[in-house]
Structure 1
């Protein structure tokens, strides 16, 4: 299957007010999917607007925070978005980290992988009750859903099978994706080697345990891209990405990505500099060899082809680590999509 090129939305400004225009522009340019994130704003609200304004483009959360919501609340919202979009919605879930779940959302965070597994099972039990209008009976270690009356049941929809993706970096969540999910969001800080050595084997292990084929689980990611019209612009982008990567690589959570290349010692040094708040010294530790591993650098009309070659038989859908804003760089986006193997865009 050809690589799908998606668009990711930023969260700055009054982006919700212009979501109708943004969604139409993304579909008109030929993006395969449109993804929202949940940092400063809710991840679901923009997709309600987008669903009404589009006909073909996939609409997904990348990601919505699972543990900040009851499975019932998430199930209801996802059900409505799936109905509104006529089957184009993808529910992407993430765990966040303990500090944010406990101190920002005031919610429990114990056993996150096990909790997320049960969360997904609870969602599917709720959706089954919605679709069949039957009894709801889900009882687990973390969640209990045993009451559903006709007054609160939205009833069946035309496309009840809602794809569930989860996001992760380490092997526990990759195994869970293989066992239970429709897709897995690979973190932007990644390399093809890391996906081959860490993500794919873990997913295959989870799939085998569940009697599934891991090839049925779609892999999605966003990727750091350096591309400009002149050397000065390229150089500026390169250094900006170098700084971004140094931040990610300094965090212990992402150390597994460095391990795929034998660069653990660089991560330790970056972590020490971060603890000392020596932010300006960190980018210098990211060598050009590391940039080559983690970043795609190409002229705009070659980006799609480079992505297709880089992720062949590895990743199914890719968004650039650049927010899509309609009217800004439309020619750039058109050239990226046009250059993707198997993809064409109307002028």
Structure 2
């Protein structure tokens, strides 16, 4: 059983950047955390915060968890990755995800269907750019290169990146929830970024991971709250979970809700969505069972968390991405894990 690594999950911003996001990354680096991760939704992008952090750190890895496919063409994404990897001296990890139809069609103005086929093409093109072995081309229907359309000028030319990559195989992780998408990550990516993972019951992912290579990485974000008030700590976890199950998706298309159903909480998921759509958020959060919120997080006194870390050590997860903005919590988790 390999040692469990730690990362710092910084997520995406609300109204603006977290006041101490650079200091938290610097503290994580001092404590021996392996990586720090930035996300995007429909506000900040995921690359810029990592540039800011990378300029003020020396060795901690810099990961996107995740950048959205529809936000930029694959070659543009690869350019971001090449630049950040060079500037950080080989510390970058590219985490990608398809997002959902509400964001893709509402924010980016692009069609959402065929996410698996789009992901396969996207990553193939990105890897071609990283490899820099030949001009980049793609015959697929989603990201054709050169552009073949009759509405163009017909002058598209296959190109090879001007920049020489520091690494020709920058690690690529996939954010995925559906069984087929998770299975795809084991085929074409170096790692997987789940949203929810229960180390006490890994059966929901068992078939999707059956062909995962031995060196396949699973980096799981976990809310950490070291406190004597377990009920209050779990309340925050429930609010987070219910937001995704009830509010992050349309009524009939919510991938987070679908995952909850596969995990055996279909009745609860239906109730949460109903209450959330009635704007009864506190009541929706209360529907989350204590045992599920507890399994998906690390909440309680240090001794309790130390005991519950054993389930994560015995799971398939290779890195815990600690979601906190508190330096002392960061130190306490490092003491317990590292």
Q: One fold, TM greater than 0.5?
A: yes
Indicate if the aligned counterparts of 2:238 and 2:288 stay in contact, CA closer than 8 A: yes
Equivalent residue for 1:255?
257
Q: Which moved more, 1:14-23 or 1:218-227?
A: 14-23
- The residue number in structure 2 matching 1:119 is 122
Residue 277 of structure 1 corresponds to 279
Deviation at 1:19, TM superposition (A): 5.9
Q: CA deviation at 1:35?
A: 0.3
Q: Give 1:210's aligned residue.
A: none
Within the candidate set 101, 106, 109, 2:104 is matched to 101
The 1-side partners of 2:27 and 2:293 are apart by 31
Taking structure 1 as the reference length, the TM-score comes to 0.83
Deviations 1:88-141 (A, max 9, x none): 110001111112111211223221111111110111122223xx3x33322212
* Contact 1:301–1:335 (CA under 8 A) maintained in structure 2: no
The secondary structure found in structure 1 opposite 2:271 is: helix
Q: CA deviation at 1:221?
A: 1.1
**1:87 aligned to 2:95?**
no
Taking the TM superposition and a 5 Å limit, the aligned residue runs for 1:283-298 are 283-298=285-300
- What residue is the counterpart of 1:9 in the other structure? 10
How many Å apart are 1:20 and its aligned residue? 5.1
2:198 is the counterpart of 1:191: yes
Q: How does 1:330-345 map to 2 (within 5 A)?
A: 330-340=327-337, 343=338
Residues 16 and 46 in structure 1, CA contact (< 8 A), matched pair in contact too: no
Q: Size of the alignment, in residue pairs?
A: 319
When residues 17 and 226 of structure 1 are mapped into structure 2, their CA distance, relative to the original with a 3 A threshold, is: closer
State the SS of the aligned residue for 1:201: coil
User: Is 1:219 matched up with 2:222?
Assistant: no
Residue-by-residue CA offset, 1:3-47 (whole Å, 9 max, x unaligned): 111112252465389765444333113221100011321100122
- CA-atom RMSD in angstroms: 2.5
> Is the deviation greater in 19-28 or in 109-118?
19-28
| TM norm structure 2 | 0.85
Q: Per-residue CA shift, 1:167-198, capped at 9, x if unaligned?
A: 111112101101110011010x331255x223
Give the SS at the match of 1:122: helix
For 2:305 and 2:277, how far apart are their aligned partners in 1?
36
Deviation at 1:295, TM superposition (A): 3.0
SS at match of 1:139: coil
SS at match of 2:36: strand
Q: 2:209 aligns with which of 198, 203, 210?
A: 203
1:157 to 162, 165, 173: 165
Retained in 2: the 8 A contact 1:176–1:203? Answer: no
* Distance (whole Å) between structure 1 residues aligned to residue 185 and residue 106 of structure 2: 27
Q: Which structure 2 residue ranges, 5 or more long, are not aligned? A: 147-156, 248-253
Identify the range of structure 1 (12-21 vs 66-75) with the bigger mean alpha-carbon deviation.
12-21
